[in-house]
Structure formats: C-alpha cells, structure tokens
Amino acid sequence: MRFPRPKVHSGLDEAFSRFSFFKGKRLGIIANQSSINWRFRHALDLFSEHKKCKVVAAFGPQHGIRGETQDNMVEWRGFRDRRTGLMIYSLYSDRRKPTPEMLREVDAVVFDVQDVGARYYTFISTLALAMETCQELGKEMIVLDRPNPINGLGVGGYLMEESFRSFVGWHPLPQRHGMTVGELAHYFREERGIRCGLRVIPMRGWKRKMWFDETGLPWVLPSPNIPTLDSATTYPGTCLLEGTNVSEGRGTTRPFELVGAPWIRPERLALRLNQFRMPGVYFRPASFIPTFQKHQGQLCGGVQIQVIDRWSLDPFLCGCALLLALYSEDPGRFQWRNPPYEYEYEKLPIDILFGTDRLRKMVESQKSLREFRRVCADSTRGFWEIRKKYLMYR
C-alpha cells in the first residue's frame, strides 16, 4: 500500500536513517500503541526485526504496550508478546520504574511514546523514572522524539509545587508545558539532576507552531480516552475534572470534551460558563449517559466544550472556569474526589492535579477567573526562561 509522505519525520522514522546509534546494542523498548512510523509499523516490531541490534526487553506505560487497558488507573501485569515472543514488563502496576533485574541484559533503553502536551499525562513520569534507573545502573537512554500535538508554543497553568509531587507530576511543570518528550528529557537531566547517558533522536521538519494535524503523521490515539486531537486540545483543562465527582466524559464518544453530572441543568451551566467570555471556546448545553466510570448508566446534564479558535483557547483556564461554575451550581452535590488517585494516598486528587492546594481554595472562595490568570502567570514566570534552554526546534 502507498502511504502519503508526511511533512514531519518522527524520531522513530529518523532512527532508521541513523542506525549507527543502535548497532550492536541490546535494547529495552518503552512503547505503546502510538509508537508507529509513518507506515504504521510499531517500534517494537521494527527494532525486533532489525538484524544489527537485539531487543531483549520491552515495557509498557499506563494502558499497556499496545493499548490493552481501556480505563484510567487500571493496573496491568506483564505478559509474553505473541508477535515477538518478548517478555513485556508493566510500568503501571506496583512498579512504575524499571528494576535492575528488568534491565540486566539491556545496554540502552529506547523511549518512543506519543505525549499530549500536558503535565499530568503519566507517560512523561514514566520517562523520568526510567531515566532514574538508567542513571543508577549506568545504562543509556535514547528518546525518539515526537510532536507536541497541541503545538510547542503554548504554555499555561500553574507550576507544580515540589510538595505536591505525584505520578501526575513527577517534576515541576505547568499543566501545559509546550515541550516535546525529547526536550523534557533534557530538562529532567539538567534541571532535575537525572544524569543518565542521554541521546535524543530529533524529528525532522517539525516546527513549534505545528498542531498534530499539520504534520502529516498518522494519529493513533495515545491513550484510549484521547481518541482525537480535539480531546488532546481540551485535556489540559478538563483533566482537572478527574479530581471531582463530575464526569469528564469517560464512557462517552467525546471524553474530555463532554463534562457533566446527573444534577446539572445543561442550559444554566452553559449560560454561566459563556458569561466568562473566554476566547476561543463556546460551551454548548449537552446531555449524555456514560457507559462506564462516573455516573455509569445515568443521564447527565452538562456541556460540550466546542473549540472555536484553538490558538486563542487557554485550556487550563477553561478547566478553572468549569470548576468555578460547577462549584457554584450546587455546592451540596459537587464534591472533591477523595484519594487514592494515581498512587497518591493522602493528598486530594484535585490538589496534585493543580500542583498546589492554593487553586482549590480559590475555587471554594469563588475567586474571579482574572485572579486565576494572575496567580498562574506569576507561578510560571521563571519556567519560561528555564524552558528556553531545552527547546530543540524553532
């Protein structure tokens, strides 16, 4: 079959034109269903078939190595891959970090997973933890870079405070970091002191202003509940709903775009949200019945977040506006979710998602959206300068 050539070549595509980096090495591959080249071939299969290197171990992050687990926070166990015969180790179970035994025969760990550009997407925590093990064992980390699908210019949210570290924020980043996984690897190494041997295979042709649909690369959902670029665009804000008893749209065909709960009156909520006059977005009254997760089988009222202009949208502030409106709509029924959440057993999920307890308290005291914007801008001011040092693309 003939495939159209993309404008952008991913790190995986580039790896096979620069194969000297891998020649003679025993490799461990961290991958998932998004780890494909422009002809839809999976990284694990490509490396396993190559005669000048040897894959001796493979690892899957949250949701598995080929997208085996649908819901969030569903642990999975290792298994033997039918296609390659390799042992697949889970990095989303009681262990989220490769062990010395798992890497005993490995010379270099290859990381090739599509991120979505948000700090709480756990794949970048998996990257950081794997880098830690490589540092401890003297192994090399090779990152095959991929696009930030919601472009590499936008930065927004609150810079996580160290005391709120969790698996949805292993190192201080704002909710929307505007970096690629390769750039983040350099940031983790230099700013966070993870001094493993690191090589990043850069993309060819990617520009920071590009959204994923401008790259020509095939979209494979990076996790089961990010089915489209639209989902990824709103996710840096609507993921905050995971810290509440309001549905973030899991169990529908538009997760992270539909939000709601059985007690919500759609027209009233939409009116309140549209009164914020947020640029780039319209809140459409909506009703839906989730097939799993929160409020499964119940009719929920809520809104669909319709992105009108993705360049002017601030998804994190959109999430803050949702929380302000939902909290005021019915404070008796709206609740913050209790732990455990993503391996945190003490702090409230909303606090580790925010990266602070400060913003939750601002929601409870119904501060203005302008105040949220000011507090977040103050928190990220220093990050902008640090980030510049690790940007690999213009």
**Residue-wise pLDDT tens digits, 157-171:** 999 999 999 999 999
Tens of pLDDT, residues 296-310: 999 999 999 999 999
Tell me how far the alpha carbon of residue 45 is from its chain's centroid. Answer: 24
Dig out the tokens for 227 from the structure: 């089915």
Average model confidence (pLDDT) across the chain: 95
Tens of pLDDT, residues 72-129: 667 777 778 888 888 899 999 888 999 999 999 999 999 999 999 999 999 999 999 9
DSSP 24-74: T-EEEEEE-TT-B-TT--BHHHHHHH-TTSEEEEEEE-TT-SSS---STT-
* pLDDT at site 70: 64
H or E stretch covering 59: strand 54-60
Query: What CA–CA distance (Å, rounded) separates 273 from 186?
Result: 39
* pLDDT at site 72: 65
Q: Which domains does the chain have, with CATH numbers?
A: 11-214 (3.40.50.12170), 229-356 (3.90.1150.140)
Q: Are 92 and 61 in contact (CB under 8 A)?
A: yes
pLDDT-based confidence at 212, cuts 50/70/90?
very high
